[in-house]
Amino acid sequence: MNSIKVGKTKKSLDKVLLEIFLHGIKSVQPKTILSNYIFIKNNQIIVKDKSKTLTYKKINKVFIICVGKASTDMAITAKKILSKLKFKISKGIVIVNKENFRKIPGFDCFFSGHPIPNKDGLKASKFVKEYLKDSTRNDLVLIFISGGGSALLPLPVEDISLNEKIEINRLLINSGANIKEINTVRKHLSQIKGGNLMKFCAPSKVHCFILSDVIGDDLSSIASGVSVPDNTTFNDAKKILLKYNLWTKIPRNANKYIDLGTENKKPETPKEGDPIFKNVKNTLIGSNLMCLEVLKNYCKKKEIKCIVWKKNIEKDVQELARTFASDLKEKKIKKPVILISGGESTVNIKGTGKGGRNQEFALHLAKQIKKLNLSLKYTLLSAGTDGRDGPTNAAGAILNQNSINLIERKGINLNKELNNNNSYEVLQKINSLVIIEGTNTNVADIQLLALI
């Protein structure tokens, strides 16, 4: 097992990388960060957003909606902060994935399907729509959005059934399309996404607090941009479906609806300048880039040399592994060091195996390092900050320079298993899965590559 010097003590790299990773997760959990943005003073809600301060006063009633993987902690923390207010707070709503579900006093709590939407999510979405009917011009709607919100809040346009929407979502996720492309299609088949939720909020004041799981922190992509204008079109949605050879595979009702949209016979998503956004404010409270910075500072504090190596990763896992390995070969990197990277890779699912993008990436990178004969001593941790990598109970994987040899000694045909997208079982057999349970947050993925 590899080790590294932390201060004056040598420690196992597996434990060090996991410790760094968990510190990064803690830094983007709502209970850690929300109190930096929302304050109560003299019965006023004060929001700090970068250099600006916004004040909400003389509010008749506050409505609270929390949607996404961080919803439970969002709700608990928001309730604690807002408890100092004297004016009325409506019973709130929490919509979260099943793994992170908890009942919270003062909230109607729903668990919903993720990454594939389900009827529970449809029920929750309809509840939100009804809930907002009671809001008025003198009210304030506080919306707390985190990763996963798009799948958790499905309300298809009336021309398309939930089952048809589920099939479209499944095809998109398995196609290798990135999250922005997936969300472009989702928005144009939804009553909520792409800014449409604001139609139900108007004319109330709205403030959204957003924890980003989208690379580049494009607010129009996080949870499919429920609170911001959408700059994509029906034509964009059709091009994406054609690009990934899905146009002839999606349900015919969706083909028909999108075609009618391209002919201006169905309503476009609301754009910049639409009056429904007049009283809407959005504040970014956490992101992958923010997390990388925290990891860098934590390493420095522990006297561990580190470099923020790659940001905003979006490539297919195989291509990403080749890029990492090629850069390790060509660039002079002074060791020992931990290379910190982050983003959200994609996987083109062709097999029937079990796994996730972090698990596949780790195996592909280990394979590439061996293929290029790099003779490195390394430990790699690649994991999702939500604690879930694909439809598995693992957050990701942790490997080192001996992992490929161990796989071969166990008689595992790695190429065959990767072609079947069966990374989970391979990693399970060599005891290399990272299993940490749900984290109540989500800012995409982190890679920590220690070279010694």
pLDDT digits 0-9 by tens, 116-140: 899 999 999 999 999 999 999 999 9
Task: Give the per-residue pLDDT at 214.
Answer: 87
- pLDDT category at 176 given cuts 50, 70, 90 is confident
Q: Can you give the chain as a three-state secondary structure string?
A: CCEEEECCEEEEHHHHHHHHHHHHHHHCCHHHHHHHCEEEECCEEEEEECCEEEEECCCCEEEEEEECCCHHHHHHHHHHHHCCCCCEECCEEEEEEHHHCCCCCCEEEEEECCCCCCHHHHHHHHHHHHHHHHCCCCCEEEEEECCCHHHHCCCECCCCCHHHHHHHHHHHHHHCCCHHHHHHHHHCCECCCCCCHHHHHCCCEEEEEEECCCCCCCCCCHHHCCCCCCCCCHHHHHHHHHHCCCCCCCCHHHHHHHHHHHCCCCCCCCCCCCHHHCCEEEEEEECHHHHHHHHHHHHHHCCCCEEEEEEEECCEHHHHHHHHHHHHHHCCCCCCEEEEEEECCECCCCCCCCCCHHHHHHHHHHHHHHHCCCCCCEEEEEEECCCCCCCCCCCEEEEECCHHHHHHHCCCCHHHHHHCCCHHHHHHHCCCEECCCCCCCCCCEEEEEEEC
- pLDDT category at 180 given cuts 50, 70, 90 is confident
Task: Give the per-residue pLDDT at 131.
Answer: 96
* 396 within 8 A of 389, measured Cβ to Cβ: yes
* 39 within 8 A of 33, measured Cβ to Cβ: no
The dihedral through the CA atoms of 238, 241, 242, 247 has a sign that is negative
Stretch 418-441: mean pLDDT: 95
Task: Give the per-residue pLDDT at 114.
Answer: 87
Distance CA 449, CA 416 (A): 26
Task: Give the per-residue pLDDT at 148.
Answer: 85
Stretch 393-402: mean pLDDT: 97
pLDDT tops 80 at residue 338: yes
pLDDT digits 0-9 by tens, 49-73: 888 999 999 899 999 999 999 999 9
Q: Which of 41-50, 208-217, 413-422 is predicted most confidently?
A: 413-422
Task: Give the per-residue pLDDT at 5.
Answer: 77
CA-based nearest residue to 358, from 307, 394, 333? 394
pLDDT tops 90 at residue 420: yes
Output the CA–CA distances (angstroms, integers) from residue 328 to 301, 322, 324, 360, in the order listed: 26, 10, 6, 19
Instruction: Please state, for a pLDDT cut of 90, what percent of the chain lies above it.
Output: 85
Task: Give the per-residue pLDDT at 340.
Answer: 98
CATH of domain 3-25+289-451: 3.40.1480.10
pLDDT digits 0-9 by tens, 344-378: 999 988 999 999 999 999 999 999 999 999 999 99
- pLDDT category at 17 given cuts 50, 70, 90 is very high
Task: Give the per-residue pLDDT at 7.
Answer: 75
- Locate the domains of the chain by residue range: 3-25+289-451, 37-155+190-232+269-286
Looking at beta carbons, which pairs linking 410-418 to residues 24 or more positions away fall under 8 Å? 414/363, 414/367, 417/353, 418/360, 418/363, 418/364, 418/367
Residue 59 Ramachandran class (φ > 0 left, ψ -120 to 50 alpha, else beta): beta
Distance CA 206, CA 200 (A): 11
pLDDT digits 0-9 by tens, 232-276: 999 999 999 999 999 999 999 999 999 999 999 999 999 999 999
pLDDT digits 0-9 by tens, 80-130: 999 988 888 999 999 999 888 999 999 999 999 988 899 999 999 999 999
pLDDT tops 90 at residue 150: no
Output the CA–CA distances (angstroms, integers) from residue 329 to 74, 318, 324, 342, 369, in the order listed: 43, 17, 9, 20, 9
Inter-axis angle of helices 162-175 and 252-262, to 10 degrees? 80
* 124 within 8 A of 95, measured Cβ to Cβ: yes
Stretch 153-178: mean pLDDT: 93
Distance CA 177, CA 220 (A): 17
- pLDDT category at 279 given cuts 50, 70, 90 is very high
CA 104 and chain centroid, separation: 23
Q: Do domains 3-25+289-451 and 37-155+190-232+269-286 have the same CATH topology?
A: no
CA-based nearest residue to 329, from 380, 365, 304? 365
Task: Give the per-residue pLDDT at 147.
Answer: 85
* 72 within 8 A of 104, measured Cβ to Cβ: yes
Distance CA 448, CA 339 (A): 6
Q: What Rg value do the Cα atoms of the chain yield, rounded? A: 23
* 315 within 8 A of 83, measured Cβ to Cβ: no
Task: Give the per-residue pLDDT at 53.
Answer: 95
Give every CB contact of residue 118 below 8 A, 6+ residues apart in sequence.
112, 154, 162, 166
CA-based nearest residue to 4, from 296, 305, 381? 305
Stretch 274-294: mean pLDDT: 96
What class has domain 37-155+190-232+269-286? Answer: alpha beta
